[in-house]
Structure 1
Amino acid sequence: MTLQNTDRVQTTHVGSLPRTPRLLEANRQHAQSAITFEQLTDELAAGVEDVVRRQRETGVDVVNDGEYGHTMSSAVDYGAWWNYSFSRLGGLTPTDEDRWASTERRRSSPGHVVLTSFPDRRDRERFREAYEDPTSGILTGRSSTTQPKITGPLTYTGQEAVASDVRNLKAAMAATGAETGFVAALSPGSCARVTNEYYRTDEELVYACADAMREEYLAITAAGLIVQIDDPSIAESWDQVNPEPTVEDYLAFTRLRVEALNHALRGIPEEQVRFHLCWGSWHGPHTTDLELKHLVDLMLTINAGGYTFEGASARHAHEWKVWKEHPLPEGRVIIPGVVSHSTNVVEHPELVADRIEQFAAVVGRENVVASTDCGLGGRLHPQIAWAKLESLTAGARLASERLFG
C-alpha cells in the first residue's frame, strides 16, 4: 500500500459526509431503543454502499464510509467525530453537560495548561455578540448533545461497532471497485478532553485513552484499511486555554498527546496511518487559531504516512508556504484541504488546481493528495457538500494534466 501519487494527483476527503434523512431517522430510533443494533446495522450497510458508490462516481480515489457508523445527532452536527467514542468506551458515566453550551470557566497557570468549555474560548470572547446572535450563522441549527465524565478505568467496548464499520466499508469497496479505503478514529488527545474524575495525572489519563483507542486502530488496520486519526485537539485546544499560554507551554502540553498517540500506533505500518489536524469545524472567525508554523514540526513526529490539514480555509490558505521551511520526511505525503467546509461557496476547479500546484511545487507532485479541510457532513447542506467534492476532483484532474502531462 502506498499513499504517493504515480501518474496523477489522487483525491480523498477528511471523512464525514452528509447522512441521508433515512439514516438520521434510524439513528434517532436506535437512540430511543425503537430499533435494535442489528436493524441499525442493516441500514448502515445499505447506506455505506450508497455513499461509497457516490464517492467513486464523483471521482474520489481514497474512499471511506462517510463516518456513517459515527452517529450524528441531527443534520447539523459539529461533534460526531468525538461523540461517537462515548458508546465505545467503558469507564464513563453520562452527565447532562453540553461543553458547547456550558458556562464553566477554568483558568490556566504558568506552565500548566487547562482546557475550558466552548463558551470560554478566546475567539468566542472576542466575538461574543456574533456568537450569541442566532442570525449570525455560527453554530446555528446544532442539537444539544451531552458528554460523559470518566469515573473508572477506561476500556474499549466498541468491538462490535468497529467490526461493523470495517465490514460495511470493505463490502462497499468490493461492490464498487474501490481499491483504497480509510476509517476515521478518535485520537488519544481528543479522547482525553472529557471531564476526568478517576485518573490522578494528565499523563495517566492520556495514556489510558491511548491504550483503549489502540484497539480500534488495530481493528481497522488488521482489515487492510487505513486508519485516519482525528485529532483537532493538537491545534484547536490552543483556543480553549485561558489565559493564553506561551507557545512553549502549549507545545509541552501537546507533546504528551503526540507521544501517547505514537504509543498507540506502535507496530502499525505508517502507510496505514494518516493524521488529521484542524482548528475546529464550527463556522466562527477563528482569529485566535495557532499558526501551523508552530505545530508542523511536532506533527511530523507522528508515525503516519500522511498528514491532512486545512489548506483552503480563509484563515489558513496562506500556510502552504510553511512547507518551504519544514521539509516533508521521505516517503510521506501531505493531504491538504483544497476545498473548505467553512463556506457555502463552491471553489472553482481552477482555484483547486492552483492550490494543488502550490503544494506540489514545494513538496513534489508525488507527495500531494488533494482533500477537504475537514468533514463536510453535518457542516454543509448535502447538495453543496457533494458539489465541493465534484469541484475537488475536477481541479485534481486539471492539476494532474499540468503536473504529469
Structure 2
Amino acid sequence: MTTDETGRFRTTHVGSLPRSPELIEQNRRYQDGEIEWDELKSALPGFVDDIVGTQRDIGVDIVNDGEYGHIMPSAVDYGAWWNYSFSRLGGLTPSTEDRWASTEQKRSSPGNVVLTSFSDRRDRERFRDAYEDPSSGVLAHRTPTTQPKITGPLHYTGQDAAATDIANLQAALAAHGGGEGFLASLSPGSAARVSNDYYASDEELVYACAEAMREEYLAITGAGLTVQIDDPSIAESWDQVNPEPTVEDYLAFTTLRVEALNYALRGIPTEQVRFHLCWGSWHGPHTTDLEFRYLIDLMLTIDAGAYSFEAANVRHAHEWKLWRDHPLPEGKRIVPGVVSHSTNVVEHPELVADRIEQFASLVGRENVVPSTDCGLGGRLHPSIAFAKLESLVAGAKIASERLF
C-alpha cells in the first residue's frame, strides 16, 4: 500500500464481500461436482467486474475482487477465507471430519501449545448454551465444513486459480478507473491449522506452509497488486488452546508463525504487503480473546507495509490507545477497522469519523487507512454490508474535512 497526496483519508476493507445468489449457486454446483472448474472460471470475470464497480460506486479507494475466487457455497460462511486453500495445496487428503469436531495434532510445539478442536474453545465452553442455541445468533445456520489432513509434502497447486484471481481483478480495475487493488492470501500459521499426519514437528509444518503459500504471494505481488496476508491464527488461536496457556508460551508459539511468514515474504517489497490480524469472524461473546497489548509489538515485526486489525469490535474498540505507547515504525501504516462485521447495527458516520481521528492523533493522518474489522461477506446480509461500506466512506469524508 503506497502513500499518495490525495489530501484525504483513503478507504479500504478487509476482503470478503457479499456474493450474489447466482455466484453462491455457481459455487455450490462446483463444490458438489455438478460443474467443472472451467465453467465456474468463465463466469467469474462478470461477478468480479460487478463487485469492483460496486466498491467504486460506494467510494471505496483500495478495492479487491470480493474474494470471489475463494469458494463460498452458502450465504452464511465463516470459513471461506481459510477453506479456499484446501484446493490450492498438494499433500492433503480429503477427510470426513467436521473441523468443529476434529483436533489438530501438533508435535514439538514451542511452549507445548496444542490447539484443541473448534468446539472446545474456551469462549464456547463458557457460553455453551448460547453457542448451541440456533436462535441465539451466535453461530446461526452454520454449515458443517470438513477439513482435509496433511498426509504428504505440502506444495502449491493453485497456480491457475491464483492467475484467474489476478486477471479478473486487473481487468475489473481497468474497467473502473484503475487504482490500487489487493488480493487476500492465507498466512502460513493459519494454513497450518489442519490435521497433520505427516510432519514431525510444528516448525516443519509451519515452514512447509510458508514455502507453499509463498508462491501465491509472489504471483499476486509480481502482478503489481498488494497481497493481504490473512492471519487470524496470530490472535484467534489463543482461544483454541485449552486449558489457557501462559502468555509467554503462547507468544513463543506465535513467534514461530511470524518468523515463518517473514521467511515466506522474503524479497517482496513491504509496500505491496498488508497484514490482517483479527480475533475471528463468528458473532460470539469473545470474552476469552487475548488482549491486543500482548500482540502489537510482535505484529509490528512482520515485514508488511500496513497492518490491518479489529478496532470497531466492542471487545477491542478501546485498544486504539495502545498506539500512545507503541510508536508506528517509519514508513508503516495502519488499517484499523472503524466499522464492525459482527453487528447488524450500521455505524453512524460521525462515530466512524471519531474513530479515524483517534488513530490519526496518535500515528499521523497520513498513516491511517480506514477499513472494516474483518470481511463482510458471509457474515452480514448484503444490504447491511454495503450500508456499512457507505458509512465507512462517509465517515472518512467527515474526518478528512476536519484533519486535512
- The TM-score with structure 2 as length reference comes to 0.97
Tell me whether 1:89 sits opposite 2:89 in the alignment.
Answer: yes
The aligned counterpart of 1:232 is 232
Per the alignment, residue 2 of structure 1 pairs with 2
Alignment correspondent of 1:352: 352
Q: What's the offset of the Cα at 1:144?
A: 1.1
Please give the alpha-carbon distance, in whole angstroms, between the structure 2 residues aligned to 1:63 and 1:231. Answer: 19
Inter-partner Cα distance in structure 2 for 1:48 and 1:110: 41
SS of the residue corresponding to residue 30 of structure 1 reads helix
1:394 equivalent in alignment to 2:391: no
Q: Pick which of 387-396 and 40-49 moved more.
A: 40-49
Q: Distance in 2 between matches of 1:308 and 1:185?
A: 14
Deviations 1:144-190 (CA, angstroms, capped at 9, x unpaired): 11000000000000000000000000000000013100000000000
* Aligned-CA RMSD value: 1.5
Decide whether the 8 Å contact of 2:371 with 2:392 is kept in 1.
yes
How many residues are matched?
403
Partner of 2:271: 271
In structure 1, what is the equivalent of residue 119 of structure 2? 119
**Gap change, CA 1:194 and 1:401, over 3 Å in 2:** same
Return 102-111 or 216-225, whichever deviates more: 102-111
Q: Whole-Å Cα distance in 1 between the matches of residues 104 and 153 of structure 2? A: 26
Q: Is the 8 A contact 1:5 1:369 kept in 2?
A: no
The whole-number CA distance in structure 2 between the counterparts of 1:5 and 1:301 is 27
After TM superposition, the structure 1 stretch with the greater mean CA deviation from structure 2, 127-136 or 148-157, is 127-136
Cα displacement (A) at 1:257? 0.3
SS in 1 for 2:379: coil
8 Å contact from structure 1 (residues 106, 242) kept in 2 = no
Instruction: Note if 1:203 corresponds to 2:166.
Output: no
- The answer to whether the Cα contact below 8 Å between 2:105 and 2:196 also exists between their aligned partners in 1 is no
Distance 1:165 1:386 in 2: 22
Residues 208-264 of structure 1: CA distance to partner in whole angstroms, max 9, x if unpaired?
Answer: 000000000000000000000000000000000011111110000000000000000
Q: Are the counterparts in 2 of residues 61 and 178 from structure 1 also a CA contact under 8 Å?
A: no
Shift of 1:111: 2.9
**Residues in 1 aligned to 2:157 and 2:243: alpha-carbon distance in whole angstroms:** 37
SS of 2:2's equivalent? Answer: coil
Name 2:78's counterpart in structure 1. 78
Answering whether residue 55 of structure 2 is matched by residue 62 of structure 1, we say no
Q: Which whole-Å CA distance do the structure 2 matches of 1:312 and 1:241 have between them?
A: 25
Partner of 2:223: 223
Equivalent in the alignment of 1:326:
326
The equivalent residue for 1:194 is 194
Task: Answer whether contact 2:90 2:156 (CA < 8 A) is retained.
Answer: yes
Q: How far, CA to CA, are the matches of 1:176 and 1:159 in structure 2?
A: 26
Q: 2: distance between equivalents of 1:375 and 1:4?
A: 25
Bigger Cα displacement from structure 2, 102-111 vs 383-392: 102-111
| Structure 1 match to 2:258 | 258
TM superposition shift of 1:45: 0.5
Contact in 2 for aligned 1:131/1:138 (Cα 8 Å): yes
> What is residue 244 of structure 1 aligned with on the other side?
244
Q: Which AA in structure 2 matches 1:79?
A: G
- Per the TM alignment, residue 134 of structure 1 is displaced from its structure 2 partner at its CA by 1.2
Q: Structure 1 residues 382 and 359, CA, compared in 2 at 3 Å: closer, same or farther?
A: same
The structure-2 alpha-carbon separation of the partners of 1:5 and 1:187, relative to structure 1 and needing over 3 Å to count, comes to farther
- Structure 1: gaps of 5 or more residues: none
Separation (CA, whole Å) in 2 of partners of 1:198 and 1:243: 26
| Partner residue, 2:149 | 149
For structure 2, the 5+ residue unaligned runs are none
TM-fit CA distance, 1:358: 0.3
Percent of aligned pairs with the same amino acid: 75
Task: State the SS of the aligned residue for 1:184.
Answer: strand
Aligned amino acid, residue 394 of structure 1: A
Q: Would the alpha carbon gap of residues 4 and 199 (structure 1) be closer, same or farther in structure 2, given more than 3 Å must change?
A: farther
Preserved contact between residue 124 and residue 131 of structure 1 (Cα < 8 Å): yes
* Cα distance in structure 1, aligned partners of 2:7 and 2:53: 23
The aligned residue for residue 306 of structure 2 is 306
Q: How far does residue 137 in structure 1 lie from its aligned partner after superposition?
A: 0.6
Other structure's SS at 2:209 match: helix
Q: Is the partner of 1:119 in helix, strand or coil?
A: helix
Tell me if structure 1 keeps the 8 A contact 2:104–2:115.
no
Following superposition, the deviation at residue 362 of structure 1 comes to 0.4
Contact 1:15 1:184 in 2 (8 A): yes
Distance change (3 Å), C-alpha of 1:113 and 1:42: same
C-alpha contact (below 8 Å) 1:49/1:172 kept by paired residues: yes
How far apart, in 1, do the equivalents of 2:258 and 2:273 lie?
Answer: 14
Give me the whole-angstrom Cα distance separating, in 2, the residues matched to 1:22 and 1:118. Answer: 31
SS of 1:111's partner is helix
Partner of 1:128: 128
Q: Which residue identity does 1:62 align to in structure 2? A: I
Quote the Cα distance in structure 2 between the aligned partners of 1:205 and 1:34.
Answer: 34
Q: Is the 8 A contact 2:113 2:249 kept in 1?
A: yes
Per-residue Cα deviation, 1:26-79 (whole angstroms, up to 9, x for no partner): 111112232221221121110000000000000000000000000013100000
3-state DSSP class of the match of 2:111?
A: coil
C-alpha deviations, 1:304-346, integer Å up to 9, x for none? Answer: 0000000101100000001111000011100000000000000
Give the alignment of 1:175-186 within 5 angstroms.
175-186=175-186
Query: Which residue matches 2:293?
Result: 293
Q: Does residue 170 in structure 1 map to residue 170 in structure 2?
A: yes
Question: Are the counterparts in 2 of residues 98 and 144 from structure 1 also a CA contact under 8 Å?
Answer: yes
